[in-house]
A and B are shown apart, each in its own frame.
Chain A
Amino acid sequence: MESIPENLEALLRSLASDALTEDKNSKKVQHSSGQVMRLLLNATRTEQGYRGAEVLVGPSRPEEAYVAALLALQGEEMEREGDKRTARATKWHKQARLSFSSNSCV
């Protein structure tokens, strides 16, 4: 595997720490379904005049950036047993369809 240059290692470290940091205006909340929400305090000024909170559902941009960078630098495609079974089933399915259609033409 290609080695990662030092400045890219530093990028990964900084993305990882950004993704994990929770500042005083951002809180993580877990919904009963398990989904992670981020509560942003003082996010938008309402018509009434106070700065209200906002809820964002799903991972944050720094978290996504960390995942994307880590995989781009170190990720490798691998063969899974489940994928093999699916590929085999698709092949049989195709063959069966072909033989069925050729029989029906006779």
Chain B
Amino acid sequence: MAQASKAILFFELMRLDRTDGAARDTVSQAMRDLHLYKESPPRATDFVEGLRLTPVYELLRYFRPELDQMSERERIELIERTIGYINDYLKALRRLTAFLQYGKTGAYEGLPNKKVTQASKQVRAAEFRELVKTERGAPLPYAKIGKLLGEKPTPGQAPRSYEGRIKGMVEDGKGILKQALGEQGYRDYMEEKRAELEHWQTLSKDEQGAIHMEENFGISARDAYEIVDEQDYRDYMKAKRGESPEKS
């Protein structure tokens, strides 16, 4: 979950279109005055966290067109308070929608106490076991799958017991996939993934990199060389959507 104070700091810097020390000091001082500032090491995802505030800012600006003219402190306080209301609203909305979907009348709140948290890992475990092979062409051992998933043995857990646990995850993952796709659908899915994996291994590193770029950023590697600043990127995305580029 994104940290609100960090998101506010980076959103404000982006809004000002400045990242220099002076701008940073002004924003962080306003946040310090509001007891919102917490010194923490910079991370590559900081700007992305700032972008998450765009809808909050849009909503505030819709109802308060004077938002940009407010003092730094006033705006930050409003954004921070709005985040609190949004958190409460989203929690209530999720609980209501979940109850509408599968809630029961008898139980406490009508929703299961234990949330499903392992399903994603179980599906990945099943895919690893079915698709990835060792150098000798055997299915990936359970201990190796566990390591790839970041599943650690419990203190003092014997290797056999640990492998048993991962095997259980593989079986549960297969169960989820089969429930969704049916037996035949499951076999077809794995067949398709095996072909995809084989094809991937025939590609060069550059070709693989280009595919990653297209999938993660929506930009082809050739176009990426032509995008040098934010304006270029905005124009590129507009052109992709079939709109006319902005005049600068």
Contacts and interface: CB of A to CB of B under 8 A. Distances in A.
Interface stretch (A2-10, A23-31, A76-84, A97-105): A23-31
A48 interface: yes
A39 B180 contact: yes
Interface residues of A, number: 30
B177 interface: yes
A57 to B, nearest CB: 5
Contacts of B239: none
Given A29-B180, A33-B114, A53-B177, A67 B123 contact: no
Nearest to B114: A33
A29 B115 contact: no
A64 B93 contact: yes
Contacts of B93: 64, 67-68
Nearest to B193: A50
Contacts of B193: 50-52
Given A57-B115, A58-B94, A52 B124 contact: yes
Interface string A24-65: 000111110111110101000110111111111111000110
B102 A55 contact: no
B112 interface: yes
Nearest to A71: B96
Given A27-B180, A29-B179, A54 B120 contact: yes
Contacts of A41: 189
Interface string B109-145: 0001011110110111001000110000000000000
A50 B176 contact: no
Nearest to A53: B123
A31 B101 CA distance: 12
B229 interface: no
Interface in A63-96: 63-64, 67-68
Contacts of A59: 94, 97-98, 101
Given A33-B116, A63-B97, A48 B131 contact: yes
B196 A50 contact: yes
A-B interface, 4 closest residue pairs, ranked by CB to CB distance from nearest = A49-B200, A27-B180, A59-B97, A55-B119
8 contacts: A31-B116, A33-B112, A51-B196, A52-B123, A55-B122, A55-B123, A55-B176, A57-B115
Given A52-B124, A59-B94, 11 more contacts: A33-B114, A45-B215, A48-B200, A50-B197, A54-B120, A54-B123, A57-B119, A58-B97, A59-B97, A67-B97, A67-B100
